[in-house]
């Protein structure tokens, strides 16, 4: 396989051996977006990750987090916002598992989007059962660059997302479900990125995530090298080809 493996959504800090995972990504040159779920997590780990060339820390404020001091976390978010191009994991979740009300989640997402709307950031999105509202708010706050992580919504909303130029990241679980397969089959090749969502998807790692590439190789009828190059090019194009300026 050629170089150019990517993981645009990995929760490195939730691994018991987080440092080893990050170093292994670096050694193997796996371009990995390390998403966080609270600004304090970013603040605590940024100095460790900053020297790494292939691991990109992402400033998150997840809608499903519940045990935190809101005002303190908002201060951490604003303090760190200029340290990275990547924002996430952020978004909305209107499923039954959500512990916060829709109104609380929308207020938090509004805070995030208002804070970055005049900045060139790449937003990594959670949108479970809330895809339409997430898209509506991205448009309202004029967010130019976004990745819909593990999209599972309506095809009509999916098409609107494409019209606004946003990207989708796919993982192994999506390739194993009929719904996921259907959504992947409708994705233009130039809008697809690869993720693990590890460790929440078990038994995958940024440098051991080949099944997604093999799946795309099969449905596209292309070589593995083609799939790796294409998805890597998408990752670079998302950043306007600024290969050497991944930090803010």
- 3-state helix, strand, coil split of the chain in percent (to 5) is 45, 15, 40
Q: How many helices (H) and strands (E) does the chain have?
A: 10, 8
Phi, psi dihedrals of residue 240, rounded to the nearest 5°: 60, 35
Could you tell me which residues are beta bridge partners of residue 55?
32
- Cis bond leading into 199, ω under 30°? yes
Distance CA 91, CA 108 (A): 9
Distance CA 81, CA 15 (A): 24
CB atoms within 10 A of CB 96: 6
Residue 197 in marked binding region: yes
Residues 6+ apart with CB under 8 A from 213: 1, 5, 194, 224, 227, 228, 231
Residue 88, by phi and psi: left (phi above 0), alpha (psi -120 to 50) or beta? Answer: left
Residue 11 in marked binding region: yes
Residue 9 in marked binding region: yes
Q: ∠ CA(36), CA(39), CA(45), 5° rounding? A: 65
Residues of each annotated binding site for a divalent metal cation: 9, 11, 89, 126, 149, 197
Residues of each annotated binding site: 9, 11, 89, 126, 149, 197
């Amino acid at each position: 396989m050629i170089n150019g493996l990517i993981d645009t959504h990995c929760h490195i800090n939730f691994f018991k051996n987080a440092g080893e995972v990050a170093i292994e990504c670096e050694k193997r040159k796996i371009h990995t977006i390390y998403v966080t779920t609270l600004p304090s997590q970013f603040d605590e780990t940024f100095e460790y990750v900053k020297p790494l060339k292939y691991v990109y820390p992402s400033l998150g404020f997840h809608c499903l987090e519940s045990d935190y001091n809101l005002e303190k976390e908002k201060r951490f978010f604003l303090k760190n916002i200029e340290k990275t191009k990547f924002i996430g994991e952020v978004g909305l979740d209107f499923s039954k598992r959500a512990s916060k009300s829709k109104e609380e989640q929308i207020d938090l997402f509004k805070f995030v989007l208002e804070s970055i709307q005049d900045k060139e950031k790449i937003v990594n999105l959670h949108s479970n059962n809330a895809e339409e509202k997430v898209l509506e708010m991205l448009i309202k706050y004029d967010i130019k660059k976004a990745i819909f992580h593990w999209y599972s919504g309506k095809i009509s909303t999916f098409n609107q997302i494409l019209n606004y130029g946003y990207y989708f990241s796919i993982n192994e679980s999506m390739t194993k479900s009929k719904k996921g397969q259907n959504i992947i089959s409708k994705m233009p090749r130039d809008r697809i990125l690869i993720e693990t969502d590890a460790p929440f998807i078990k038994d995958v790692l940024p440098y051991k995530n080949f099944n997604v590439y093999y799946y795309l190789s099969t449905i596209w009828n292309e070589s593995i090298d083609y799939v790796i190059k294409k998805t890597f090019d998408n990752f670079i194009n998302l950043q306007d080809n600024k290969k050497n300026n991944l930090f803010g």
